[in-house]
Amino acid sequence: MQSTVIKENPDCVREREALRNDTLNLVLAISDSVHLIYQDDARFVSKEFQPLNANKYRIDIPKYQSQKFNFKYLSELKPDYEYENWEAKYPKFAGELSFSKIYFDKKKEKAIMTVEYGCGSKCGLGYLYLENVNQKWIVIKVESTWIA
C-alpha cells in the first residue's frame, strides 16, 4: 500500500512558529467548556461529520499557561459585549476563544470543529478542517465563515 504524504498548511506553520517566539503574556478568556457546533453554523457542516457524543467537558486551561498566554475562564468576569470588564482587570486582554466539539467522519480520518474568537465588535468564526495523517491530527484547512 502506497503512503500518502500530506503537508501542513504553510500559513498554519508560519503562525504557529510566530506564536512560539512570542512572549507577550497576553490574557485570553477561554469558554469554560466545549460545545456542539451552534445550530446556525451546523447547516454548513456536511452530515457525514458527527460528534462522538453531546457531552460537554471543561477545558483544562491551567496546563496550557505560558509566557505567551495567560488563560482565564470566561466565567471569571461578568460578560459584556465589548469586554470592558476584562480590559479593566487585565491591561493585556486580547479577546475570547471558544471551541466546539470535534466532529468526525465515519472512518475517523477527517474532522471539523469551530473556533470562535471575539474581541468586541470585531469578531470571527472559522472552521478548522483536520485530517489524521500517520496517527497524528493536522490542520489541513482554515476557513473563515464570517466576520462582523
Give the pLDDT confidence of 8-53 residue by residue, as tens digits. Answer: 777 777 777 776 776 678 899 999 999 888 887 777 788 899 998 8
Q: Are 28 and 70 in contact (CB under 8 A)?
A: yes
Per-residue cell: 58:
471543561
CA distance 130 to 113: 8
Q: What is the per-residue pLDDT across 93-139, written as a single tens digit (0 to 9) for each?
A: 888 888 889 999 999 999 988 888 887 666 666 777 878 888 888 88
Residue 85 placed within a domain: yes
Number of domains the chain contains: 1
Q: Count Cβ atoms within 10 A of the Cβ of residue 103 and give its class: 0-12 exposed, 13-18 middle, 19 or more buried.
A: buried
Q: Count Cβ atoms within 10 A of the Cβ of residue 131 and give its class: 0-12 exposed, 13-18 middle, 19 or more buried.
A: middle
Predicted confidence band of residue 79 (pLDDT cuts 50, 70, 90): confident
Residue 112 placed within a domain: yes
Q: Domain limits at 16? A: 10-147
pTM of the complete model beyond 0.75: no
CA distance 145 to 20: 26
Residue 5 placed within a domain: no
- pLDDT value at residue 141: 83
Residue 2 placed within a domain: no
CA distance 56 to 33: 6
Q: Are 71 and 30 in contact (CB under 8 A)?
A: yes
Residue 102 placed within a domain: yes
CA distance 114 to 126: 6
Residue 1 placed within a domain: no
Residue 39 placed within a domain: yes
